[in-house]
Structure 1
Amino acid sequence: MAIKVYIAEDHLEQRNQIVQSIKNYRLFSDWELEIASVAASGEELLASIDRENQWNIYFLDINLAAEAEISNGFVVAQEIRNFDPFGFIVFITVRSELSFLTFQYRVQALDFIIKDPAVNIQERVHTCLKTVEQRLSVLDTSQTIKLNTGNEITSFIIEDILYIASNKGHILSLHTKQKEYQIYQETLNHLEEQLEERFIRCHRGFLINTKAIRHISRDFSNLILEDGTTVPVSVRKRSALKTLQSKYVSIRS
């Protein structure tokens, strides 16, 4: 799956410099990297983002064109966080002191690139991309699972999955903290084997993340997940659930 890069920079020369830096990085990297959109304004960039894709990288100028509807890069980043909580955001600015505003806007920036003649922009872009590559490599080996979502193979952070349910037609329904996905060419039995350390098969039709459990009924016939979903517990699975009882928030009658 390609990692998509989005760029919002209103200054043409600097925009081209960032694009070329990314292209140069691809020449010596085995990483699949796609420049998905290059925009001059915040609204143009937001309209172009593929919101189904995960692990996007965003290079955002903090001060976009004043006449643009969205001229504040922090506001763009804030909107991005609404649908891409794990994307990598890199701010581009002439004022390094603005970095503290990432805490105010709560956007968790990966890095800042300062617009300064003394700064090698290409080197800074390459450093950011290398950091993302290293982080994703760690996630791929220990904290994620790759599944077929129909049009592509999608990586999911395991802890972000609340539960997986079986549907008609041999299609699974995977629910994360953000949205629901259809999973193809997979079975609950196989996923139960892969996720056995963190998930429990509480019912033939449900595989749930044990960390997502918030309440268990007193008779252990059902449980409630952190998003409010009520999941049934089969009779033969209730004894296994009882052994995990002490880890959960409460038991309801």
Structure 2
Amino acid sequence: MTLNFIICDDNSVVLDVTKNHIQKILKQKNLNGKVVLDSSNPFRVLEYSSLHKKDFNVYILDISLNCDLNGLSLARKIRKYEPHSYIIILTAHIELSLMPFKYRLKAFDFWVKPITLRNIESTIAVLYQDFEALLKNFGIQQRSFITVTSDYIKHQICIEDIIYIESFKSKLIIHLINNVFQVYGSMKSMLFQLEHSGNFFYRVHKSYIINSNHIVKIDKFNKTITMTNGKEILVPVTQNDIFDEFNYIFDD
């Protein structure tokens, strides 16, 4: 299973440094995780939480966001959607270190700026130990894979890393978090494989199958769905019911 990292800070430099440090550690340690969102807008983070409350998420939130919604209030709202998600509080003011306890946020850690690669590495090491124990204690299944052939080479693709699949002539283009594969096959047969994986895949268009776990925005008015890689997919009027289906999934 994947840990999704979400970073919110109104300082673009801190935002980039934190993101780069996390990505470097995940890659070096070969950890199953990814940064899915980095933003200075707390309302984007709140929207993500409402849509992805069933995922395993790690929120890194600056207290001062230069906005009506500060990091502590944001964390409190996230807790309503995700009582068991990981929350790390970030601030330049050490005197605020007790605030997460006063807000009863169950914060996993508290980082004081300027943060270093070592600070982040230490926290991530402990965080993944806790995550592995969680998976073991609750008997959560490990990642599922499908086998595809691209350019005469067989590849094992992690199903949860699939963002969406599009058809182009006789080929399927599989868009993953960090890769793209072109394979021969039909949308019908691919959807059949994915539906038996236990993941939430939907054919929202004759040319698109999407993984609902990778949706970041649903715009019913403009009939579009935006994915984690920024792809905006137009949903035909004939498929309008799919929006109600997504609302049912995310709101239950």
RMSD value over aligned CA atoms?
2.6
Correspondence list, 1:151-162, <5 A: none
Cα distance in 1 between the residues matched to 2:125 and 2:48:
25
Cα distance in 2 between the residues matched to 1:74 and 1:96:
15
Structure 1 residues 184 and 79: CA distance shift in structure 2, 3 A:
farther
Structure 1 residues 22 and 185: CA distance shift in structure 2, 3 A:
closer
Correspondence list, 1:215-230, <5 A: none
SS in 2 for 1:60: strand
- Structure 1 residue identity aligned to 2:126: T
- Structure 1 residue identity aligned to 2:13: E
SS in 1 for 2:89: strand
CA-to-partner distance for each residue in 1:166-225, whole Å, 9 max, x for gaps?
A: xxxxxxxxxxxxxxxxx9779xxxxxxxxxxxxxxxxxxxxxxxxxxxxxxxxxxxxxxx
Cα distance in 2 between the residues matched to 1:11 and 1:185:
40
SS in 1 for 2:118: helix
Structure 1 residues 108 and 147: CA distance shift in structure 2, 3 A:
same
Query: In structure 2, what is the equivalent of residue 20 of structure 1?
Result: 20
Query: In structure 2, what is the equivalent of residue 69 of structure 1?
Result: 68
Equivalent position to 2:85, from 63, 84, 87: 87
2:128 matched to 1:133? Answer: yes
Cα distance in 2 between the residues matched to 1:102 and 1:79:
13
Structure 1 residues 185 and 111: CA distance shift in structure 2, 3 A:
closer
Aligned 8 A contact 1:43 1:69 in 2: no
Bigger-Rg structure (1/2) = 1
Structure 1 residues 44 and 7: CA distance shift in structure 2, 3 A:
same
Cα distance in 1 between the residues matched to 2:132 and 2:101:
27
Structure 1 residues 144 and 95: CA distance shift in structure 2, 3 A:
farther
Equivalent position to 2:111, from 80, 94, 113: 113
Q: Structure 1 length normalisation: TM-score?
A: 0.53
1:85 Cα deviation (Å)? 1.0
Q: Structure 2 length normalisation: TM-score?
A: 0.54
- Structure 1 residue identity aligned to 2:84: F
1:107 Cα deviation (Å)? 0.6
Give the length in aligned residue pairs. 150
Query: In structure 2, what is the equivalent of residue 4 of structure 1?
Result: 4
1:54 Cα deviation (Å)? 2.7
Aligned 8 A contact 1:17 1:122 in 2: no
1:82 Cα deviation (Å)? 0.5
Q: Which runs of 5+ in 2 are unaligned?
A: 144-158, 162-194, 199-252
1:152 Cα deviation (Å)? 5.1
SS in 2 for 1:134: helix
Query: In structure 2, what is the equivalent of residue 236 of structure 1?
Result: none
Q: Which runs of 5+ in 1 are unaligned?
A: 154-182, 187-253
Query: In structure 1, what is the equivalent of residue 244 of structure 2?
Result: none
Aligned 8 A contact 1:51 1:84 in 2: no
